[in-house]
Amino acid sequence: MSQSEQKETADKQTVSSEPEPQSASVNPRAVCRVCKHLYREPKILPCLHTFCSDCIGQLEPFSTSPRGRFTAPEGGGRSGEAAEQDRDSLSFTVLCPECDTEVDIPRSGPAGLSTDHLALDEVFLETLVSDGPLGCDLCGEGSAESRCEVCSLNLCEFCRQAHRRQKRTASHSIQAVTELKARGRLCRPVLCSLHPGQELRLFCQPCDLPVCLECAATLHRDHRCCPTHDVIDRHGDRIRELVSARLRPRLERLEDSLQKVEISQENLQVRADETANQIRVFAREYTSAVEAHCLSLLRRLEEIRVQRRNHLHLQRAQLQQALLDVRGSVEFAERLLSCGSDAEILSAKGVTLRRLTSLAESGYDPHPATVAPDDGGSVCFLPREPAGEVEGYPLVGMIHSRTVDVSRCTVEGEGEQLTFYLVFVVSVG
């Protein structure tokens, strides 16, 4: 059996033999958030969320947009992945099921997206630790005791011996399934999509793509191709710099800001409850006219509380979404750098850098002054304030609310003599 046939057989067997997640003990990194099953052909969206290829293909597109064509450099051809980009003159846009970000899908569909090799590792590890037997990917009959790390095939003892006898596969690394389980992490080569069995060990600098030896000798023969271990530091440092220097501090600011907003929500509710109690105690000393005034005050307080609550709710939602975007991207990038092989990092480098750069340059980054906790002082009850008359009875007691209009605050002066004008919007009712 040729290596391409072996790979097709392995893919089919993997899909049919994947266990369905039955409990919370299943590794969530191996499960698609859409179909709730173990990943099948996991693809990375531009927002760095991963889903099954079929799940992405079933998302409803809501717009299409023209895409610029990629021009090959002079003096050589391009890989299959780059050639697909040349053919994709249009893309359609979908909403990410995880973060609702608008993402572009190539006209060629999910196949044009980067494969999440880390997710494939998690799926295989989940298969190893599952209680069910691991079937042979070649004969489909025997129980798999070994795995070829080059072909990504689970092999029974008979097929393992046959694999060793074949000339093209005799040198492949075959590991016992028990050893893989004990190791706790899968070390699996990333193979070329154009030349099955060929590992991506080189990086074509003009095309900005990892390639195999056969690709370098044919499609990229006139290009400068370097071993992946010679360029991984430079490309990995670009991801690492965005994470550590820009996005990790922003992640901390987002978490801190979200905590402040949640504190403000709690303080607002506490202060509103205290004010309501004061109003009720004061209102019990009056007649029906005072009771009517009491209800009027409570309605006004509720309006203030709802208005402030809606503002804080919107601010909280914005911070949560921004935090989710940054945290997801940072965790993906850090896991890619810490767990991925050279080829895995380089395979996902493009989509990772685009997402991290987009977040670093245009993501929501709150200023600390705009999310300072509200101590409740902006809402208070003035029991001695004249409130007019109701049914001939003089009434006292007003609700006093105050908010800062930041857009109207100014600083004036020269040198060390500065005057700060703080504009308050005061509402009394």
Give the pLDDT confidence of 322-332 residue by residue, as tens digits: 889 889 999 99
pLDDT at 19 over 50: no
Question: For residue 393, how many other CB atoms are within 10 A of its CB?
Answer: 14
Contact between 355 and 47 under an 8 Å Cβ cutoff? The reply is yes
Higher-scoring residue by pLDDT: 11, 355 = 355
Residue 18: which pLDDT band, with cuts at 50, 70 and 90? very low
- Maximum average pLDDT range among 332-336, 418-422, 425-429: 332-336
pLDDT at 363 over 50: yes
pLDDT at 228 over 90: no
- Inter-helix orientation angle 117-129/3-17, to 10°: 60
pLDDT at 156 over 60: yes
Q: In angstroms, what CA-CA distances link 22 with 50, 125, 129, 361?
A: 21, 16, 13, 41
SS3 328: helix
Higher-scoring residue by pLDDT: 194, 51 = 51
Burial class (CB in 10 A: 0-12, 13-18, 19+), 75: exposed
> How far, in Å, CA of 162 to CA of 151, rounded?
14
**Residue 8: what pLDDT?**
42
Task: Give 345's DSSP letter.
Answer: H
**Residue 2: what pLDDT?**
44
What is the architecture of the domain spanning 3-200+208-213? 2-Layer Sandwich (3.30)
Per the prediction, the chain carries an average pLDDT of 76
Amino acid at 414: E
∠ CA(399), CA(400), CA(405), 5° rounding? 140
Give the tens place of pLDDT for each residue, 251-309. Answer: 999 999 999 999 999 999 999 999 988 877 766 666 678 777 888 888 888 888 888 88
Nearest to 352 by CA among 2, 98, 344, 268: 344
Nearest to 38 by CA among 46, 48, 30: 30
Residue 110: which pLDDT band, with cuts at 50, 70 and 90? confident
**Residue 87: what pLDDT?**
39
Residue 37 in tokens: 């099953």
Give the tens place of pLDDT for each residue, 165-216. Answer: 887 778 777 888 777 766 655 556 677 877 766 778 899 988 888 988 888 8
SS3 324: helix
Residue 137: which pLDDT band, with cuts at 50, 70 and 90? confident
Lowest mean pLDDT among 123-132, 321-330, 400-409, 411-420: 411-420
**Residue 234: what pLDDT?**
85
**Residue 390: what pLDDT?**
77
Give the tens place of pLDDT for each residue, 300-322. Answer: 888 888 888 888 888 888 888 88
Lowest mean pLDDT among 10-24, 118-132, 134-148, 386-400: 10-24
Residue 52 in tokens: 């099954």
pLDDT at 227 over 80: yes
Residue 336 in tokens: 């890619």
SS3 356: helix
**Could you tell me the residue ranges of all domains in the chain?**
3-200+208-213, 231-428
What would the mean pLDDT of 152-174 be, rounded to a whole number? 82
Q: In angstroms, what CA-CA distances link 283 with 292, 302, 391, 394?
A: 9, 17, 15, 13
Residue 219 in tokens: 């499609």
Higher-scoring residue by pLDDT: 142, 415 = 142
